[in-house]
Amino acid sequence: MKSEILDMVLESIATKRAVVLATNLESGEQRLLGRGDGDDDDERANVSTALRLDKPVTTGPDESRRIFYQPFNPPLRMVLVGAVHIAQPLSTMAVLAGYEVTIVDPRSAFAAEARFPGVALDLSWPDQALESLGLDARSAVVTLTHDPKLDDPALHVALRSDAFFIGCLGSKKTHATRLKRLRKAGFTDAELERIKGPVGLPIGSRSPSEIAVSVLAQVIETLRKP
């Protein structure tokens, strides 16, 4: 790898920008491509696939040129709004799955290190916390409090961000009421379709840990699906 290419890769990593290093396996030529970049639709699809799957993609031997696409993705992040009981198993599982987890809750009695050892806690108001975190296309946001005073400010920020996943805990009735509030706040139906609610895959989960499994599974499904 040439020094100028290495410098560009390191800069992208430092600024948390997703890029793919495309190496021509015959000539050795290297290019750094961002999401949506490429010489044609096939190459843009290869770049997208490498970034989505977090693993290299190589064009086949029948292609006119053989290119190795090496992704360099920012870290996966999960922001949990509400230091409630479900957040405990969910934060643990998410860390094991490779996510940097931040729990946002201004209620210090809930967001206590004793309840969430080793997990980043933010006691700011949810909208302030999410703004400061700078949500990107590698960020998932899950609201858990059932309290509009906490969940809604977070959703206002998340819906205006590039977060790949936005989910909300609560019943179908609770979610319908939530959507009405957000429409009144100016969000369109197309924007609101980004919200997974009630969050979690329908696996019949009941306990906090089972619900956490269903939520994490839905996050992973959203991240990896084409």
What digits encode the pLDDT tens for the residues 193-226?
Answer: 999 999 999 999 999 999 999 999 999 999 998 7
| Residue where a domain terminates, one of 55, 72, 89 | 72
Q: Exposure of 53 by Cβ count < 10 A (0-12 exposed, 13-18 middle, 19+ buried)?
A: middle
Q: What is the pLDDT of residue 62?
A: 67
Residue 186 has pLDDT above 90, yes or no: yes
Q: Are both 197 and 86 inside the same structural domain?
A: yes
66 and 102 assigned to the same domain: no
The confidence score (pLDDT) of residue 2 equals: 78
- The model's pLDDT over 40-71, given as tens digits with 9 standing for 90+, comes to 999 999 999 999 989 999 987 666 789 999 99
Beta-bridge mates of residue 45: none
Tokens (6 digits) for 206: 């009941």
What CATH code is carried by the domain that includes residue 96? Answer: 3.40.50.720
Question: What range does the domain containing 126 cover?
Answer: 77-224
Q: Which of 182, 183, 86, 181 is nearest to 142 (CA)?
A: 86
3 state DSSP class of 61: coil
List pLDDT tens digits, range 99-149: 999 999 999 999 999 999 999 999 999 999 999 999 999 999 999 999 999
Residue 150: the pLDDT is: 97
Residues 51 and 131 in one domain: no
Q: State the pLDDT at residue 48.
A: 93
**ω into 117 cis (within 30 of 0):** no
Classify 71 as helix, strand or coil.
Answer: strand
Per DSSP, what are the bridge partners of residue 56? none
Alpha-helix runs per DSSP H in the chain: 3-14, 41-53, 87-96, 126-133, 148-159, 172-184, 189-192, 208-224
- For residues 137 and 206, state if they share a domain: yes
Local structure of residue 137 (DSSP, 8 states): T
| 165 and 91 together in one domain | yes
Average pLDDT, the chain: 94
Q: What is the structure's pLDDT at 63? A: 65
pLDDT value at 174 more than 80:
yes
pTM: 0.88
> Do the Cβ atoms of 8 and 14 come closer than 8 Å?
no
DSSP character for 37? -
Q: Are residues 14 and 85 in the same domain?
A: no
Please count the structural domains in the chain. Answer: 2
